[in-house]
Amino acid sequence: MTQLSRHEERQAAVQILFACANKTPDEAEMDLVYDLVVGDQDYHAFLPQLVNGVLARKAQLDADIAKHLALGWKVDRIARVNLVILRIAVYELQMPEPAPYKVVVDEAVELAKEFASQQDAQFVNGVLKNYAPVDAQ
């Protein structure tokens, strides 16, 4: 069996969280989603940490994202896949031992390019740039 890389785990997290966007799945549903997305590949604790963390803190993450949107924008206007990517990135930045800011942003931008478009990647980058800690800019 192959082991997923960090980037592949982030890709899987996007797919799992996108599938769970309308409701919080029960354990059996979550197992099914993992099976569909990951198959028989091995993954680190990082993947369930991202998925479970985002699901548990979705409302707080959305509130944090809303604070960093351009004037006139609301979270409910953000395309679902972009919102999932932003939630993952903001959650990663809030983890006790977060990855470096630049790594998190670069990964989020790449995910937006892969799952959406270049324009969406620019949007994600812009929101996360507004979210940047002062020393990261």
Amino acid of residue 85: I
Q: Is residue 1 part of a domain?
A: no
Amino acid of residue 121: A
The 3 state secondary structure assigned to the chain is CCECCHHHHHHHHHHHHHHCCCCCCCHHHHHHHHHHHHCCCECCCHHHHHHHHHHHCHHHHHHHHHHCCCCCCCHHHCCHHHHHHHHHHHHHHHCCCCCCHHHHHHHHHHHHHHHCCHHHHHHHHHHHHHHCCHHHC
Closest CA relative to residue 81, chosen from 33, 19, 125? 19
Q: Is residue 1's pLDDT more than 80?
A: no
Which residues span the domain enclosing 109?
Answer: 6-136
pTM: 0.93
Contact 45, 4 (CB under 8 A): no
Q: Is residue 57 part of a domain?
A: yes
Q: What is the pLDDT of residues 30-81, one digit of tens each?
A: 999 999 999 989 999 999 999 999 999 999 999 999 999 988 899 999 999 9
Instruction: Give the tokens for residue 62.
Output: 């959305």
Q: Is residue 76 part of a domain?
A: yes
We report the CATH number of the domain holding residue 64 as 1.10.940.10
Instruction: Give the tokens for residue 128.
Output: 């996360």
Number of domains in the chain: 1
Q: What is the pLDDT of residues 97-132, one digit of tens each?
A: 999 999 999 999 999 999 999 999 999 999 999 887
